[in-house]
Amino acid sequence: MNITFSSIRTFYTSSRYLKKVPERLKGRSKSSQEWLIRQMNDEYVSKAKIENYRARSAFKLIEIDSKFNILKPGDVVVECGAAPGAWTQVCVKRINAAGTVPGKLQGKHIAVDLQPMYPIEGAHILAPLDFTKLSSQTKVTELLDGCLADVVLSDMAPAATGVRELDQDQILTLGYSVMTYAQQISKDGAKLLIKLWAGGRVKQLENELLLHYSRVKVVKPPSSRQDSAELFLLASNFRRNT
- Residue with smaller CB distance to ligand SAM, 23 or 227: 227
Q: For ligand SAM, which residue of 75, 81, 186, 216 counts as binding (CB under 6 A)? A: 81
For residues 141 to 180, the per-residue mask of contacts with ligand SAM, x marking binding by CB under 6 A and - elsewhere, is --------------xxxx---------------x------
112 in contact with ligand SAM (CB under 6 A): yes
Told to judge if 203 belongs to the known catalytic residues of this protein, a careful annotator would answer: no
Answer for the pair 18, 11: CB distance below 8 angstroms, yes or no.
Answer: no
Q: Which listed range, 66-74, 129-137, 161-169, 197-205, lies at the site for ligand SAM (CB under 6 A)?
A: 129-137
Contacts 24+ apart (CB under 8 A), 199-202: 199/164, 199/168, 199/229, 200/165, 200/168, 200/169, 200/172, 201/168, 201/172, 202/172, 202/231, 202/233
Q: Whole-number minimum distance, CB 129 to ligand SAM, in Å?
A: 6
Q: Is 29 exposed, middle or buried, given 0-12, 13-18 or 19+ CB atoms closer than 10 A?
A: exposed
Answer for the pair 168, 197: CB distance below 8 angstroms, yes or no.
Answer: yes
CA distance 241 to 239: 6
- Residue with smaller CB distance to ligand SAM, 89 or 96: 89
CA distance 149 to 168: 27
196 in contact with ligand SAM (CB under 6 A): no
Which one of the listed residues 60, 108, 191, 195 is annotated catalytic? 195
87 in contact with ligand SAM (CB under 6 A): yes
Q: Output the DSSP codes for 92-112.
A: HHHTTTT--STTS---EEEEE
110 in contact with ligand SAM (CB under 6 A): no
Number of residues that bind ligand SAM (CB under 6 A): 24
86 in contact with ligand SAM (CB under 6 A): yes
Q: For ligand SAM, which residue of 57, 137, 183, 224 counts as binding (CB under 6 A)? A: 57
Q: Is 193 exposed, middle or buried, given 0-12, 13-18 or 19+ CB atoms closer than 10 A?
A: buried
Residues that bind ligand SAM (CB under 6 A): 54-55, 57-58, 80-87, 112-115, 130-132, 155-158, 174
Catalytic residues, which ones?
195
